[in-house]
């Protein structure tokens, strides 16, 4: 724990205050060989985020939010901007809360992701201003199949779209004015978990007309559909596909209007479709009931990509303790056309290994939800947020972020270059190998690890390791509840059997302004049985290895 505090302290010292940026370049995403990084002031940046509660972006609540972010060693706070607050009357804007957010984030040396709570918030319209809510004739609602007006705005209404576009553009114009030079705001979420709760699609007259018309030609071309209407094009999936297109097409125009003012990278978060259990005798969850229909759920990604080219990322919110599901979501959303980013996750003991797993699959950032716990919802919501032990909640994100707060640039850069690997514990897999070019890293989870015994694993499956390749046999290593040792890889042994691996030097240390600084050389008990990373005592180790013949060449030749 002492080490954790030291790390955090060094990290705090090293954190640059968010003073005028070094670069005139707006934060943006960079792609290299199908890998991504968020570039902030010319450098790759790993988002160690913390999302505050929905009603916390208010002057009275913000002090708690900043201390919560500091307590978990976040480098970025994700905070909502409420349409109802910034545009209380049509065309009249109040950016007081936004200014406060930006100024206070700077005081606390934090970056910001702004969350635009506009037309959609969790598949409903709860943050649209009163002047819109009270005038459904001008700003039409979505209707269900029986004509009931829902608390969801119709995505087929030009008036709704124009109103959202105007407000979002005004917000981005303002952000550019106050932050165009400083880059405190690095990313924007457009809408929140869009789609509709209450109906599989909009049946309002305008929507119905569009549904009966031809599928838009561009969508039909990309999806290789024969010309025809939605039913002909999508068969049993017509309703949800129509909802997906309408929602993506609408949000794409909101994004484009914002980017025309200030082209920050922009993403949409996803309330994805959680699988149903076979016992429930259904093959899939119901759109509009168990998740908002038409959002960027797994099955709608192709439509969203086609209809939303201005949207940089579709980013899943993950609220389950099912690790198999997590892996499938990583595989689904980590695509060559979609940087992997988790804007929301549970704030509990599942955090560590999900975070490590995502990092090893190229994630540009990760953020637990509801870091300022004073206003945490009292009851679990349908996504299954279950209150967990207070201690668990606090410790886990903090120990992870403390480790990377400081070398976040190196970690993001190594990821962009494809040199970062992770292994996480799983049931029945307390020992695993990471196959690196030139070496195998053998990771063993849980302690004690008596000689000759299979590692015990941990009772909570929390073991995790990260290995980054800095040079041919030069690695940066860290982790929790794990030992890591290196061996010549099987592939290398096939080519040249007469070789063994040896440690030249193992250094514990830190990155100081981008440069590695060793604090001690590890040897003896600290390296003889691998590098040991126990419990909540994180450290970074840089290890240099070399190979030498296993046998004297002459003897070896004789033996062959
Ligand atoms: C997901 C939403 O995106 C958040 O705004 C919040 O409502 C959480 N669910 C948890 O309540």
pLDDT score for 387:
39
Which ligand 1 atom is nearest residue 192's CA?
3
In a domain, 9, yes or no: no
Residues 432 and 446: their CA atoms lie apart, in Å, by 12
State in Å, rounded, how far the first CA of the chain is from the last one.
Answer: 52
CA of 122 to the centre of ligand 1 (A): 7
- How far away, in angstroms, is 143 Cα from ligand 1 center? 24
Pocket lining: 78 vs ligand 1, CB cutoff 6 Å: no
For residue 548, the enclosing domain spans 423-559
Nearest Cα to 191, choosing from 165, 225, 218, 229? 165
pLDDT for the residue numbered 536: 62
Q: Are residues 408 and 443 in the same domain?
A: no
Cβ of 377 closer than 6 Å to ligand 1, yes or no, is: yes
Q: Give pLDDT tens digits for 207-232.
A: 999 999 999 999 999 999 999 999 99
CATH code, domain with 487: 2.60.220.20
Q: What is the pLDDT of residue 20?
A: 54
Contact 484, 554 (CB under 8 A): no
Q: Is the beta carbon of 189 within 6 A of some atom in ligand 1?
A: no
Ranking 251-260, 348-357, 371-380 by mean pLDDT, the lowest is 371-380
**The predicted structure's pLDDT at residue 537:** 62
Maximum pairwise Cα distance, the chain = 93
Rounded to the nearest angstrom, the distance between the alpha carbon of 383 and the centre of ligand 1 is 9
Do 106 and 202 have their domain in common? Answer: yes
Tell me how crowded residue 324 is: count the other CB atoms within 10 A of its CB.
10
pLDDT at 389 over 60: no
Statement: residue 457 has pLDDT above 70: yes
Pairing of strands 47-51, 365-366: parallel
- pLDDT tens-place string over residues 474-519: 999 999 999 999 999 988 999 999 999 999 999 999 998 889 999 9
Q: How far is CA 262 from CA 77, 175, 315, in A?
A: 20, 8, 21
Pair of tokens at residue 490: 């099987």
Where is pLDDT greater, at 527 or 278? Answer: 527
Q: For residues 483 and 500, what is the distance between their CA atoms, to the nearest angstrom? A: 20
Q: Which residues contact 555 (CB under 8 A, 6 or more apart)?
A: none
Q: Does residue 55 line the site of ligand 1, with CB under 6 A?
A: no
Which single residue is written with the structure tokens 């097409």?
249
**Across 131-142, average pLDDT:** 98
Average pLDDT over residues 169-191: 98
Do residues 412 and 428 share a domain? no
Distance 59 CA to ligand 1 centre (A): 21
User: In this structure, is residue 4 part of a structural domain?
Assistant: no
The protein residue whose alpha carbon is closest to atom 8 in ligand 1 is 369
- Tell me the mean pLDDT in the region 77-98: 98
Residue 389 placed within a domain: yes
pLDDT tens profile 38-65: 999 999 999 999 999 999 999 999 999 9
Q: Residue 399 has what pLDDT?
A: 87
* 370 and 453 fall within a common domain: no
For residue 424, the Cα-to-chain-centroid distance in whole angstroms is: 17
| 14 within domain boundaries | no
In-domain check, residue 15: no
Domain limit, last residue, from 365, 397, 418: 418
Q: Do 183 and 36 lie in a common domain?
A: yes
pLDDT at 478: 97
C-alpha of residue 110 to centroid of ligand 1, in Å: 22
- Same domain, residue pair 521 and 447: yes
Identify the pLDDT of residue 249: 98
b or e along 150-174 (b: 16 or more beta carbons within 10 Å of the residue's beta carbon)? Answer: bebbbbbbeebbebbbbbbbbbbeb
Please give the average per-residue pLDDT across 127-138, as a whole number.
Answer: 98
Query: Pick from 418, 440, 470: which residue ends a domain?
Result: 418
Total domain count for the chain?
2
pLDDT of 535 over the 90 cut: no
Cβ(344) – ligand 1 distance below 6 Å: yes
Q: Does residue 17 lie in a domain region?
A: no
- Output the residue whose Cα is nearest ligand 1's atom 2: 122
Residues across the chain: 560
Strand pairing partners for 115? 80, 189
Domain co-membership, 349 together with 466: no
Structure tokens at 266: 């922009």
Residues 460 and 499 in one domain: yes
Give me the pLDDT at residue 559, please: 59
pLDDT above 70 for 107? yes
Nearest CA to ligand 1 atom 5: 54
Nearest atom in ligand 1 to the alpha carbon of residue 385 is 10
Of 392, 418, 444, the position where a domain reaches its end is 418
pLDDT for 280 equals 62
Based on the fold, state whether residues 94 and 194 are members of the same structural domain: yes
* Minimum CA distance residue for ligand 1 atom 11: 381
Q: Is residue 13 part of a domain?
A: no
Residue 326 forms part of a structural domain: yes
208, 273: one domain = yes
391 and 497 belong to one structural domain: no
Higher pLDDT among residues 437 and 365, named by residue: 365
Per-residue pLDDT at 377: 40
Please report, for the domain that includes residue 323, its CATH number. 3.20.20.80
Position with higher pLDDT, 5 vs 188: 188
In tens, the pLDDT along 265-307 reads 999 999 999 987 655 666 788 899 889 999 999 999 999 999 9
Contact 247, 161 (CB under 8 A): no
Q: What is the atom index within ligand 1 of the atom nearest the CA of 381?
A: 11
């Amino acid at each position: 724990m002492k080490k954790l505090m030291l790390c955090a302290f060094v990290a705090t010292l090293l954190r640059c205050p968010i003073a005028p940026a070094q670069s005139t370049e707006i934060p943006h995403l960079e792609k290299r060989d199908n890998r991504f990084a968020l570039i902030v002031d010319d450098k790759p940046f790993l988002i160690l985020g913390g999302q505050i509660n929905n009603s916390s972006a208010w002057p009275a609540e913000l002090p708690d939010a900043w201390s919560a972010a500091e307590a978990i060693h976040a480098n970025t706070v994700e905070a909502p901007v409420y349409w109802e607050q910034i545009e209380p009357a049509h065309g009249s804007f109040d950016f007081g809360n936004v200014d406060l957010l930006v100024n206070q984030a700077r005081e606390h040396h934090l970056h910001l992701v702004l969350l635009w709570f506009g037309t959609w918030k969790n598949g409903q319209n709860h943050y649209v201003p009163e002047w819109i809510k009270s005038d459904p004739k001008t700003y039409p609602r979505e209707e269900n199949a029986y004509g009931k007006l829902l608390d969801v705005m119709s995505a087929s209404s030009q008036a709704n779209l124009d109103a959202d576009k105007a407000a979002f553009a005004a917000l981005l114009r303002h952000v550019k004015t106050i932050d165009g030079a400083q880059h405190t705001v690095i990313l924007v979420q457009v809408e929140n978990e869009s789609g509709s709760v209450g109906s599989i699609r909009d049946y309002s007259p305008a929507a119905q007309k569009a549904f009966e018309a031809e599928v838009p030609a561009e969508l039909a071309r990309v999806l290789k559909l024969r010309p025809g209407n939605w039913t002909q094009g999508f068969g049993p999936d017509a309703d949800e596909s129509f909802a997906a297109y309408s929602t993506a097409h609408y949000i794409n125009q909101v994004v484009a209007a914002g980017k025309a003012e200030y082209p920050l990278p922009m993403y949409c978060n996803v309330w994805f479709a959680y699988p149903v259990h076979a016992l429930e005798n259904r093959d899939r969850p119901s759109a509009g009931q168990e998740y908002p229909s038409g959002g960027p759920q797994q099955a709608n990604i192709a439509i969203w990509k086609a209809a939303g080219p201005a949207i940089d990322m579709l980013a899943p919110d993950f609220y389950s303790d099912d690790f198999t599901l997590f892996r499938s979501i990583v595989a689904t959303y980590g695509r060559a056309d979609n940087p992997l980013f988790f804007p929301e996750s549970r704030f509990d003991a599942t955090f560590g290994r999900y975070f490590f797993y995502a990092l090893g699959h190229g994630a540009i950032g990760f953020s637990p939800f509801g870091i300022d716990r004073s206003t945490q919802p009292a009851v679990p919501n349908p996504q299954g947020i279950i209150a967990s032990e207070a201690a668990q909640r606090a410790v886990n994100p903090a120990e992870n972020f403390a480790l990377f707060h400081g070398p976040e640039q190196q970690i993001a850069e190594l990821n962009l270059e494809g040199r970062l690997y992770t292994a996480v514990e799983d049931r029945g897999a307390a020992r695993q190998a990471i196959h690196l070019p030139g070496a195998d890293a053998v990771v063993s989870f849980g302690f004690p690890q008596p000689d000759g015994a299979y590692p015990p694993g941990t009772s909570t499956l929390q073991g995790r390791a990260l290995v980054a390749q800095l040079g041919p046999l030069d690695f940066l290593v860290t982790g929790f509840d794990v030992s890591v040792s290196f061996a010549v890889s099987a592939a290398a042994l096939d080519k040249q059997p007469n070789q063994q691996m040896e440690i030249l030097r193992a250094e514990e240390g830190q990155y100081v302004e981008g440069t590695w600084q060793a604090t001690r050389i590890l040897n003896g008990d600290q390296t003889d049985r691998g590098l040991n990373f126990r419990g909540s005592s994180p450290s970074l180790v840089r290890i240099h290895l070399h190979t030498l013949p296993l046998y004297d060449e002459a003897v070896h030749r004789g033996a062959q």
